[in-house]
Amino acid sequence: MRRRAVGAVDLTPQPHAGRPIAFEPPVHWTAYEAPTETTTQLRPVRTRHPSRVLAAAVCVVFGLGLIGGAVTGSWLTGDSAADATAPTGYAEARGSWHSVPVDTLFPRTIEGNGAGPGGADRDWTRIAVAPDSNCANAFDPLLRKALAPVGCERLLRATYTDATTSSVITVGLLFTEAQAPAMRTLRTRFTGEGLAERLDLMPRSYPVDGTAAAGFGDRQRASWTVSVLTDAPVVVYAVSGFADGRIVTDPQPAEPAMVKGATTAPAQAGLGHEAKGIADRIERALRRTVAPVPETRR
């Protein structure tokens, strides 16, 4: 029998396993808001000779240019040549779960220009934010095993509804404990083995009583997407369903559900577009927050 590589997880479904047993997560959690940012008062500095100040300023600007360029390069490209600065960028991204306001990570409203079927516009409204938590009971068993090699620093989740309140979408940001090499390994496995499109690795939803997502449980999941980032220690995912709580018998990953001519219920309802559209925009917002693009002067 061939031995598996160290750290690999056997995700082969058991014979006659069928669809995973539905697990309804608790729905009594309340929303939270991020703490207000604070600043520290700087001490006054003694006046120095103009020539010394000018020389020091030149050195500082030159040094910051080199450091900033290296860090930004590693964030945007994930280039292995920038591994020396990767821990700094990763630490900044990993800490954003508690340092960035919730309205920045999960905006109250999201515009999805051209995000719907046929390039139609979409608009989503946030209806619930889960308290930050660990990953216990947050994923189905096989998905939890698949993500285990990168660990779980913190999990943030929010649920949105579309403008017609006919669909609901939960989006999650899993901040991992891993560094760049482990994230690249996980990304390679997810893409190479097609793990992001396996039915038994579908993310769980976040239902909340008194909202359009009150009946959004495991059996109501219709379409999903999972993206393992390599330029930050984050896994972004989204799962969508019908707001009326109907059971979905044929869930479909977002990518095939977005193909023109697809005839499944999730595809016909545009739920693949809903999951993919929100996940992409939350991912972009995270990148802008942690590593903003330098302003170009003209």
pLDDT digits (tens, 9 = 90+) for 253-283: 999 999 999 999 999 999 999 999 999 999 9
pLDDT tens string 177-192:
999 999 999 999 999 9
More confident residue, 129 or 75: 129
More confident residue, 27 or 140: 140
Q: What is the 3-state secondary structure (H, E, C) of the chain?
A: CCCCCCCCCCCCCCCCCCCCCCCCCCCCCCCCCCCCCCCCCCCCCCCCCHHHHHHHHHHHHHHHHHHHHHHHHHHHHCCHHHCCCHHHHHHHHHCHHHHCCHHHHCCCEEEECCCCHHHCCEEEEEEEECCCECCCCCCCHHHHHHHHHHCCCEEEEEEEEECCCCEEEEEEEEECCCCHHHHHHHHHHHHHCCHHHCHHHCCCCCCCCCCCCCCCCHHHEEEEEEEECCCCCEEEEEEEEECCCCCCCCCEEHHHHCCCCCCCHHHHCCHHHHHHHHHHHHHHHHHHHHCCCCCCCC
Does 123 score more than 90 pLDDT? yes
Does 194 score more than 70 pLDDT? yes
Does 48 score more than 60 pLDDT? no
* pLDDT-derived band at 284, boundaries 50, 70, 90: very high
What average pLDDT score do residues 114-134 get?
90
Q: Can you give the pLDDT at residue 35?
A: 36
More confident residue, 181 or 4: 181
**Model-level pTM?**
0.71
pLDDT mean across residues, the chain: 77
Q: Can you give the pLDDT at residue 117?
A: 84
Q: Can you give the pLDDT at residue 88?
A: 53
Q: Can you give the pLDDT at residue 156?
A: 97
What average pLDDT score do residues 149-161 get?
97
